[in-house]
Amino acid sequence: MNVGRRIPQAARAGRNRLARKLGLLLSLLRRIPSADRFVRDDAWAHELFPLTSSLAGKRIGIVGLGRIGQGIARRLTGFDVEIAYGGSKVEGVPYVMFSDVQQLAAFADILIVCCPGGDRTRHLIDGAVLSVLGSSGFLVNVSRGTVVDEAALIDALENGLIRGAALDVFEKEPLIGSRLATFSNVVLTPHAGSATEETRHTMLRLALDNIHRVLDGSCALTPVQ
């Protein structure tokens, strides 16, 4: 078995996850789920679908510029956007850093949350941050559900404090009976960032390769730091 070939496969799995995150963003801006229902419900015969928003030219604020955040940023550069980030300082990146998340939200048209979960980031995105993001701003959460104060987000959506949101993670999963499901300007997916057949196969293959190497007395391909 040539386990050395598995690292490129792991990178490919990461690219698949990033593609889904970008797909979530584009679905939000272009209202793709609503457009699908519009056609299926025969509404097109009676009216025109409302105008949507382009990604081009937007200011993107990324909360957490780790491996995933940097991957998202690299892929967004092709859309002619302006990128800034918040969180720990990252050397060697061409993006402006904001030390305060409210300042980042004030800069951004779209705030993408991809920082770690845990006590340090619990409800980092609260009512104050959403208010600063503003009525033309979009929120995308692809990190952990606890990072966003869902009660504050629902309030912001009900009162038009932000323009819309796309969420792949939630404070309580599965999401059942939530008011988030009632908003037409919200895109919801079931914590499915890595949920492709190809990615899950690659994840399993990499886990097995790690186990085989450790049992053979070698270093793991992807050791936990």
Report the chain's terminal Cα–Cα distance, integer Å: 25
Q: Is 196 helix (H, G, I), strand (E, B) or coil?
A: coil
The question of whether 191 is a catalytic residue gets the answer yes
Q: Pick the catalytic residue from 17, 144, 150, 163.
A: 144
Find the catalytic residue in 191, 205, 212, 213: 191
Task: Render 138-163 in DSSP notation, one character per residue.
Answer: EEEE-S-GGGB-HHHHHHHHHTTSSS
- Listed in sequence order, the residues at least 6 apart from 220 whose beta carbon sits closer than 8 Å to its beta carbon are 210, 213, 214
Which of 5, 12, 15, 173 is an active site residue?
Answer: 173
Q: Closest Cα partner for 24 from 113, 140, 122?
A: 140
Whole-number Å distance between alpha carbons of 48 and 179: 27
Instruction: Assess whether 173 carries a catalytic annotation.
Output: yes
φ/ψ of residue 221, rounded to 5: -65, -40
Residues known to be catalytic: 144, 173, 191
